[in-house]
A = this chain, B = another copy of it.
Amino acid sequence: MNHRAAPLPQQLSLRCLSCREEYTATDAGTCKECYEEASETEDELKSEIDDLKAKVAFLRLGSSPLDSHKRSSALGFSDVVLVASDEFHSNPVSLLAHKAVLASRSPVFKAMLEIEMEESRSGTINISDVSYDALRAFVNYLYTAEASLDEQLACDLLVLAEKYEVKYLKTYCEKFLVSKLNGQNSIASYSFAHQHNANHLVESSLSMIIEDMANLTKSEEYVHLVDKDPKLVVQIYETYMSKQVNTAARID
């Protein structure tokens, strides 16, 4: 005959309604009511996401799966030409687009096209220092809010977004570049971000640099930045020192 002691309350075994595993009182999460409410909330949020995705698909211009450089021209009825010129193309390359779309996405295009400027008279907008691929991705983004970024393209698009004041695209590129920050690219990113007023990227790259101050002077990018823009290097040291002082103050 077995005399087993009643379980201690803490050892009482419960079964989780979500993962179906057993757990003890110390690992308890929620009551049943909250679990059910949370499940409902999750379903509602997922359904809202589906609705929003459908709305995005509807609002994209030229929603058929076209090669991006064909999209704006395939929409038809274009009334403006964008011409890309960079150092690599002796012959400028061009893209068809729509004034109403460009003006709706960018206050700079809007001003160019509405005011009696060269662009509105000729129906041609020249965009300098940009590769055809970057311009194509830029225009495609204005029509669809989509881009397959890599680090180079994110930088190119950030520059265009800054120049033409497409805030939403700038934020998108900045977030991407922040997600790609590492010990190797933090100084270059910091310098690039400063140049293009990407404050979120400035702060994130600066934090990353400061985490590894001991190795700062060993990198080539550092030497290059001292040469090119010493004031930015001074800011690194100043930020580092102010954090040291704050930490010291907390310890005291």
Known interface pairs A6-B9, A29-B33, A168-B58; A100-B76 also in contact (CB < 8 Å): yes
Known interface pairs A19-B34, A42-B45, A49-B48; A76-B114 also in contact (CB < 8 Å): yes
Cα separation A57 to B103 with both chains bound (whole Å)? 15
Instruction: Give every chain B residue within 8 A of A62 (Cβ-Cβ).
Output: 104
Which label, helix, strand, loop or mixed, suits the secondary structure of the A interface? helix
* Binary B-proximity of A74-118 (CB < 8 A = 1, otherwise 0): 011111000000000000000000111101110000100110000
With both beta carbons as reference points, the residue of chain B lying nearest to A120 in the complex is identified as B77
As for how many copies of this chain the complex holds, the number is 2
Cα separation A18 to B38 with both chains bound (whole Å)? 10
- A52: contacting residue among B16, B32, B49, B58, CB under 8 A: B49
* B32 in contact with A27 (CB, 8 Å): yes
- Count residues of chain A with CB under 8 A from any CB of chain B: 60
Known interface pairs A17-B30, A30-B18; A25-B49 also in contact (CB < 8 Å): no
Closest CB in chain B relative to A142 CB, distance in Å: 9
- A29: contacting residue among B30, B42, B75, B110, CB under 8 A: B30
Instruction: Give every chain B residue within 8 A of A98 (Cβ-Cβ).
Output: 77, 98, 100
Cα separation A58 to B25 with both chains bound (whole Å)? 49
A224 at the interface (CB under 8 A from B): no
Cα separation A78 to B101 with both chains bound (whole Å)? 11
* A21 in contact with B29 (CB, 8 Å): no
* A16 in contact with B31 (CB, 8 Å): yes
Interface residues of A (CB under 8 A from B): 6-7, 9, 12, 14-19, 21, 23, 25, 27-36, 38, 41-42, 45-46, 48-49, 52-63, 75-79, 98-101, 103-105, 110, 113-114, 144-145, 168
